[in-house]
Amino acid sequence: MLALDQLTVDIQNSRILRGISVEVAAGELVCLIGRNGAGKTTTFRTIMGYLTPVSGTVALKNASIVGLPTHKIAQLGIGYAPEESQVFGDLNVAENIELPTWTRPQGRDAKTRIAMAYEIFPKLRDYATRGGSQLSGGERKMVSIARALTLDAELLLLDEPFEGLSPAIIPSISDGIASIRRLGHGILMAESNIHHIPEYADSLYVLERGEIIFAGTPADAHASSEVMNIISGAA
Ligand SMILES: Nc1ncnc2c1ncn2[C@@H]1O[C@H](COP(=O)(O)OP(=O)(O)OP(=O)(O)O)[C@@H](O)[C@H]1O
Ligand SMILES: [Mg+2]
Residues 110-166 have pLDDT tens digits of 999 999 899 888 889 999 999 999 998 888 988 998 998 898 888 999 999 888 777
CATH for 2-231 (2.60.40.10, 3.40.50.300, 1.10.3720.10, 3.40.190.10) = 3.40.50.300
- Does the beta carbon of 42 sit less than 6 angstroms from any atom of ligand 1? yes
**CB atoms closer than 10 angstroms to residue 43:** 29
39, 46, 59, 72 from 67: Cα distances, Å: 20, 10, 11, 10
- Does the beta carbon of 11 sit less than 6 angstroms from any atom of ligand 1? yes
What confidence category does residue 233 fall into, taking pLDDT thresholds of 50, 70 and 90?
A: low
Residues 24-56 have pLDDT tens digits of 999 999 999 999 999 999 999 999 999 999 999
pTM assigned to the model? 0.91
Q: Are strands 2-11 and 14-24 parallel, antiparallel or unpaired?
A: antiparallel
Q: How many whole angstroms separate alpha carbon 180 and alpha carbon 95?
A: 21
Q: Are 158 and 189 in contact (CB under 8 A)?
A: yes
- Does the beta carbon of 40 sit less than 6 angstroms from any atom of ligand 1? yes
Domain segments of the chain as ranges: 2-231
- Does the beta carbon of 38 sit less than 6 angstroms from any atom of ligand 1? yes
Task: Report the separation in Å between the CA atom of 159 and the middle of ligand 2, taken as the mean of its atom positions.
Answer: 7
Q: Are 87 and 144 in contact (CB under 8 A)?
A: yes
Q: Are 18 and 211 in contact (CB under 8 A)?
A: yes
Task: Report the separation in Å between the CA atom of 55 and the middle of ligand 1, taken as the mean of its atom positions.
Answer: 19
Backbone angles phi, psi at 9, to 5 degrees: -135, 135
Helix (H, G, I), strand (E, B) or coil at 166: coil
